[in-house]
Amino acid sequence: MANGVFHTRHGIEINLTYEDLDNPGYTGLLEEITQPVGQRPRDLLQCLKDYKGEECQCALAGKSPWMFVRRQRSNGQVTWVAAHLPLTHAATPQESDKHKAMKERIARTAERHGLGVETEARSQDGRIITDVLVTGAGARVGWEAQYSPITANTVRRRSAKARERNIAPLWVTADATSALIDRAPWTRVDDVPWQRIASPLTLMIRAGVRHLQIWKCTPSSERPCPATGDACGMWHSGWFLPALCIPQERATPLDELVVTSADGEHLPVRSRDPHDARRASYLWALARDVIRWREITGETSVPPESGPADDEPVTYTEQEIDSACHYGEEGPHTSSPRPQRERTSAVGLHTFDHAPDDALLQPTRPIALRLSPRERLVVAAELNCPPWEIGPCMLCATPIHRYGPRSPKACPACRLTANHP
């Protein structure tokens, strides 16, 4: 890989081994040259050998001499390197079809429930495009369907731009190794064909939505002590996946999160790791859980400041610029196998001395509604709705007309109790 590149707009040579890129007079230069190619001119960066009028191996091979800058790990260090553009990732037809199907599904679901929907929503300056902007009574949620690789820096930057426009970013992926995980509010679904995404069949969320669990650490506890492994007599709280909750919570369907995130029933949470201040986890949780978590921990969901392009800092070796063309030596644009960023263990674990109010949590989202086909038909006739729109009250599991347009999520009795405790 080359350690230097020519900037065609500024007319300068850039040495990637220097922290100031060997051009101290240009502020914001690194952010400019590391932008995704789709957001800047393709001919912004040029192979130094081609710029000097010498034989560029890439040009001789019938390719363009334009380049991009990315991170590379070598000998235990992370550095910036330049590579030729033909080696960048282009969305495959399968990825494009899945991306389109996911956008259409989110928009269709939001419209069916009476929410405001805008696809390919542009900012006023036209520079920021949101895949699907869903507006409800509780929030404006910017859904980003991400089926192709993306850098952590791009996720952070686009999420920050969304917050500036009073939009809650929500990234959805099918890849447990995606760089977007825990870089912004996110969720993961199964990796299925685009036809399955576009179908009316339920698409369950497998990660990114969690529930608050609070327990006292005693010898009879069903959970081990997260601090010592032995009963410590203290109280603990943390965010758990639905299947690991006690009692077990049910998984959230994607279509449901489209509605509840816009209505304010689900809120984004940024939970700092108490043992590592640099690490934070992003998740979506029920508003009730979020309020209690803030009361217990004192944490807030203040958006983070702009972070580094990745978790590891870049090492600047301050070498002489190399103007040779390394096309053909670069190999395919792949990295070493990416570790799974998604965690199944609890996040945001906290320990405290005294029991909080209402320490024992009841399941907020019943796992399933168990009705025989005949029972479902009887209930549907009583409620004057199709049998497939019957579902459980989210608080007491009573069968209700749950999945029709503008249908409530709780039965009349539970709504009355909630309004008049």
| Per-residue pLDDT tens listing for the chain (421 residues) | 688 899 999 999 999 999 899 998 888 899 899 887 777 888 899 888 888 877 776 666 656 778 888 888 777 788 898 887 754 455 567 768 899 999 999 999 999 999 999 998 887 766 678 899 999 988 999 999 998 887 777 888 888 888 988 999 999 999 888 888 888 999 999 999 999 999 988 899 999 999 998 888 888 888 888 877 788 888 888 899 988 888 888 889 999 999 999 999 999 998 877 666 567 789 999 998 898 888 887 776 655 544 444 456 888 888 888 777 766 554 444 444 556 677 777 887 878 777 665 544 555 555 567 788 888 899 999 999 999 888 887 767 788 998 888 888 778 877 776 665 5
Determine the 3-state secondary structure of 106 from DSSP: helix
Same domain, 63 and 120: no
For residues 131 and 126, give the distance between their C-alpha atoms in angstroms, rounded to a whole number.
13
Same domain, 81 and 102: no
Domain membership of residue 159 (yes or no) is yes
Domain membership of residue 386 (yes or no) is yes
Domain membership of residue 341 (yes or no) is no
Domain membership of residue 263 (yes or no) is yes
Hey, what's the torsion of the CAs at 172, 178, 183, 185, to 10 degrees? 20
Domain membership of residue 329 (yes or no) is no
Same domain, 64 and 108: no
Same domain, 16 and 104: no
What is the tally of structural domains in the chain? 3
Predicted pLDDT at 109: 93
Same domain, 124 and 67: no
Same domain, 83 and 150: no
Same domain, 71 and 117: no
Domain membership of residue 315 (yes or no) is no
Predicted pLDDT at 88: 44
Q: Among the three residues 87, 115, 132, which one is the final residue of a domain in this structure? A: 87
Same domain, 55 and 121: no
Domain membership of residue 335 (yes or no) is no
Same domain, 187 and 38: no
pTM above 0.85, yes or no: no
Q: Among the three residues 270, 289, 310, which one is the final residue of a domain in this structure? A: 310
Residues with Cβ within 8 Å of 178's Cβ and at least 6 positions away in sequence, in order, are 146, 149, 150, 188, 341
Residues with Cβ within 8 Å of 211's Cβ and at least 6 positions away in sequence, in order, are 239, 240, 241, 242, 245, 249, 285, 286, 289, 364
Q: Among the three residues 72, 87, 102, which one is the final residue of a domain in this structure? A: 87
> Which contacts of 334-337 are long-range, i.e. CB under 8 A and separated by 24 or more positions?
335/73, 336/73
Same domain, 97 and 72: no
Determine the 3-state secondary structure of 38 from DSSP: helix
Same domain, 125 and 79: no
Predicted pLDDT at 220: 83
What domain range is 35 assigned to?
A: 4-87
Same domain, 32 and 156: no
